[in-house]
């Protein structure tokens, strides 16, 4: 799929920046060029912001039932085109076709949820007469309204899911959107954007700027006409955006090193099965991937045996082959980085139980045991198919270790002890906690977002719609009547 034009305000336009330069989109599995997209420049950013500012005026005045109808048409188109979108997604991202189908298949339902939530923008009435000296002559209420122009910046790892989780709630709430997808996965974002455009979005309401985040990001983030930045990506880039955004709304969905605790009373087979999925789905490139397992020392050997048996069943290879369960990382350079982290962990004393070999952009699913919880392999986000296992003598120590990184996106525990489960949910600083499952689980309607360096704000459709609006407080001043 080659695009030589940019989508600005819902129409395909020749890039203004003169060069008309195209950049290749490459399959991480075999290096073939799977498409090209234009590289936007400063003049294109300006055109998109001007167009989005006009679009925001039109769209905020469009009644919610009309916005909802357009979104429902977009959802139907996303369903119809799901198989094509999955193919593009798998090819440019390297995830298995099965994973790509599951991801693309969620688009329609996310958009439908957003269409509904956009019709539910209730305010509150205020009991002003409870204020001393205020009578019944005044009526107060809150009035939710769209924020205006939203800039959505998305990462490579879920190029359909995370685009949908931003675009659909932003549009449902009545905002215009400028999307900047990851440079490695722009084709999925463009295919999804087409569903919204073909559904009948008015002019100006949706733009997609392809090109480097490092070059486009600062201009978009610092622009005063942009009223909200919704960013999903690494903690480093999120911190940078926070430092330049100025006074505007900001949602940051950032990095993680998600822990799972396994206690002696847990169902070990369930824990091993879930970790063997949750550590390696999407080749471990998931913000809620299981990176650390903290297992009670009395069952460490049994757990490692059970986990190794399950992880050995994974097959890496061609993402298009149905037998493949773990696809490639996004680039060979990323695979080299993960390979280097495994080597560093081993030289620091961890034991490589299995896997870890690299072939191009693929890494054989790896388990490390005896990991020092303070080591970089536990503390820093690994973002690859690697699970680092440490041990703890009791649940209190396990909670301390779970909390010992700068991150706080998600955590899990396997136990049948209700007291331990309650202690874990209350004491672990993570935005999502799973009891008897790993953090790698998400329903699109649930509030979703991190604590600590994992971010601020919540996605999940209802929460995202709320964060894409701002609220006015209105007071009607009547006269006292007799």
List, as one string, the DSSP characters of 58-103: HHHTS-HHHHHHHHHHHHHHHHHTHHHHHHHHHHHH---HHHHHHH
Shortest distance in whole angstroms from residue 143 CB to ligand NAP:
30
Which C-beta is closer to ligand NAP: that of 159 or that of 174? Answer: 159
Minimum CB separation of residue 165 from ligand NAP in Å reads 8
Indicate whether 41 belongs to the interface with ligand NAP (CB under 6 A).
no
Strands 226-232 and 451-452: unpaired
What would the two tokens of residue 48 be? 């998109």
Which of residues 399 and 409 has its CB atom nearest to ligand NAP in the complex?
A: 409
DSSP H or E segment with residue 171:
helix 161-172
182 binds ligand NAP (CB under 6 A): yes
Sheet order of strands, 206-208 included: 11-13, 6-8, 206-208, 176-180, 149-153, 226-232, 249-253, 455-456
Which residue is catalytic, options 117, 194, 195, 287? 287
Identified binder of ligand NAP from the candidate list 146, 217, 421, 460, rule CB under 6 A: 217
Closest distance of CB 60 from ligand NAP, Å:
26
Instruction: Check residue 450 for interaction with ligand NAP (CB under 6 A).
Output: yes
Choice from 455, 463, 465, 469 touching ligand NAP (CB under 6 A): 455
Q: Rounded to an integer, what distance in angstroms lies between the CA atom of residue 473 and that of residue 465?
A: 19
- Residue window 152-171: x/- pattern of binding to ligand NAP, with contact defined by CB under 6 A: -xxxxx----x---------
Residue 144 or residue 169: which is nearer to ligand NAP going by CB? 169
Please give the size of the binding site for ligand NAP, defined by CB under 6 A. 31
Stretch 230-269: interaction string toward ligand NAP, x if CB under 6 A: --xxx--x--xx-----------xxxx-------------
Distances (CA, A) of 369 to 179, 267, 397, 476: 41, 20, 18, 65
230 and 251 in contact (C-beta within 8 Å)?
Answer: yes
**Collapsing DSSP states into helix, strand and coil, what is residue 125?**
strand
Binds ligand NAP by CB under 6 A, chosen from 214, 340, 349, 393: 214
Say whether 376 sits in a helix, a strand or coil.
helix
Tokens of 276: 């063997």
Smaller CB separation from ligand NAP, 149 or 271: 149
Taking contact as CB under 6 A, which single stretch among the options 201-209, 211-219, 360-368, 388-396 is the one that binds ligand NAP?
A: 211-219
Classify residue 190 as exposed, middle or buried by CB count within 10 Å of its CB (0-12, 13-18, 19+): buried
Question: What pairs with residue 290 in β-bridges?
Answer: 258
How many H-runs (helices) and E-runs (strands) does the chain carry?
Answer: 16, 24
Active site residue 334: no
Within residues 372-391, the interface with ligand NAP by CB under 6 A covers 381, 383
Please report how close the Cβ of residue 460 comes to ligand NAP at its closest, in angstroms: 10
Query: Cβ 160 to ligand NAP, closest distance in Å?
Result: 12
Given 3-state DSSP classes, what are the helix, strand and coil percentages for the chain, each rounded to the nearest 5? Answer: 40, 25, 35
Of 370, 99, 406, 156, which is closest to residue 258 (Cα–Cα)? 406
Tell me which of 99, 103, 194, 253 is the catalytic residue: 253
| 432 near ligand NAP, rule: CB under 6 A | no
Choosing from 131, 212, 298, 473, the residue that interacts with ligand NAP (CB under 6 A) is 212
Known catalytic membership, residue 253 = yes
Neighbours of 14 (CB within 10 A): 12
Considering the rule CB under 6 A, would residue 213 count as an interface residue with ligand NAP? yes
Q: Where along the sequence are the contacts to ligand NAP (CB under 6 A)?
A: 153-157, 162, 180-183, 212-214, 217, 232-234, 237, 240-241, 253-256, 287, 381, 383, 409, 450, 454-455
- Write out the catalytic residue numbers: 253, 287
């Amino acid at each position: 799929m080659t695009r030589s034009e940019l989508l600005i305000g819902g129409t395909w336009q020749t890039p203004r920046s003169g060069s008309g330069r195209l950049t290749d989109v490459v399959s991480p599995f075999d290096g073939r060029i799977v498409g090209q997209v234009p590289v936007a420049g400063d003049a294109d950013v300006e055109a998109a912001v001007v167009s989005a500012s006009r679009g925001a005026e039109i769209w905020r005045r469009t009644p919610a039932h009309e916005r909802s109808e357009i979104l429902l048409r977009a959802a139907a188109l996303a369903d119809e085109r799901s198989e094509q979108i999955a193919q593009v997604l798998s090819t440019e991202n390297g995830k298995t076709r099965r994973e790509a189908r599951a991801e693309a298949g969620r688009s329609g339902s996310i958009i439908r949820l957003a269409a509904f939530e956009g019709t539910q923008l209730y305010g509150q009435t205020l009991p002003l007469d409870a204020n001393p000296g205020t009578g019944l002559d005044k009526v107060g209420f809150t009035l939710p309204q769209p924020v205006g122009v939203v800039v959505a910046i998305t990462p490579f790892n879920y190029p359909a899911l995370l685009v949908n989780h931003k675009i659909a709630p932003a549009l449902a709430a009545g905002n215009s959107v400028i999307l900047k997808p990851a440079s490695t996965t722009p084709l999925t974002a463009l295919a999804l954007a087409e569903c919204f455009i073909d559904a009948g979005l008015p002019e100006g309401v949706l733009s997609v700027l392809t090109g480097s985040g490092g070059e486009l990001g600062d201009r978009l983030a610092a622009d005063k006409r942009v009223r909200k930045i919704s960013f999903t990506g690494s903690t480093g880039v999120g911190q940078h955006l926070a430092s330049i955004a100025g006074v505007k709304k900001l949602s940051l969905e950032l990095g993680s090193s998600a822990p799972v605790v396994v206690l002696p009373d847990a169902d070990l087979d369930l824990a091993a099965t879930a970790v063997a999925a949750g550590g390696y789905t999407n080749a471990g490139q998931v913000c809620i991937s299981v990176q650390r397992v903290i297992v009670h020392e009395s069952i460490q050997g049994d757990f490692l045996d059970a986990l190794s048996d399950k992880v050995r069943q994974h097959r890496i290879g061609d993402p298009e082959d149905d037998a493949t369960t773990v696809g490639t990382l996004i680039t060979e350079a990323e695979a080299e980085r993960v390979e280097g982290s495994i080597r560093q962990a081993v030289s620091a004393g961890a034991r490589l139980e299995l896997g870890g070999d690299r072939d191009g952009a693929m890494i054989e699913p790896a388990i490390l045991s005896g990991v020092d919880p303070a080591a970089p392999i536990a503390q820093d986000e690994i973002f690859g198919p690697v699970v680092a296992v440490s041990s703890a003598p009791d649940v209190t120590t396990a909670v301390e270790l779970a909390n010992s990184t700068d991150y706080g996106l998600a955590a899990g525990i396997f136990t049948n002890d209700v007291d331990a489960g309650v202690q874990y949910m209350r004491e672990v600083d993570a935005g999502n906690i799973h009891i008897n499952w790993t953090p790698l689980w998400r329903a699109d309607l649930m509030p979703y977002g991190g604590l600590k360096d994992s971010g601020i704000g919540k996605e999940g459709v209802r929460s995202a719609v709320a964060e894409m609006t701002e609220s006015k407080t209105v007071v009607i001043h009547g006269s006292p009547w007799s």
